[in-house]
Amino acid sequence: MACIGTWSFCYMSYLFSHICWLMMIFDSFCIRPCDVAHNEYGL
């Protein structure tokens, strides 16, 4: 669940900065589950 929150924050931050990519790499283990939730919620 926390991953989803992080993904949302990362997505919004991406709109203003590419720092999001660094977060994704650091939390690479969380990218897949977040991606699935992202597609499900359609955010």
Structure tokens at 27: 């939390």
Residues 20, 11: contact at Cβ < 8 Å? yes
Structure tokens at 28: 């690479």
Structure tokens at 23: 């977060």
Residues 5, 43: contact at Cβ < 8 Å? no
18: DSSP letter: T
Tens-place pLDDT, residues 1-43? 455 666 677 677 666 666 666 666 666 655 555 566 556 655 4
Say if pTM beats, i.e. exceeds, 0.75: no
Report pLDDT for 35: 60
Structure tokens at 25: 């790499």
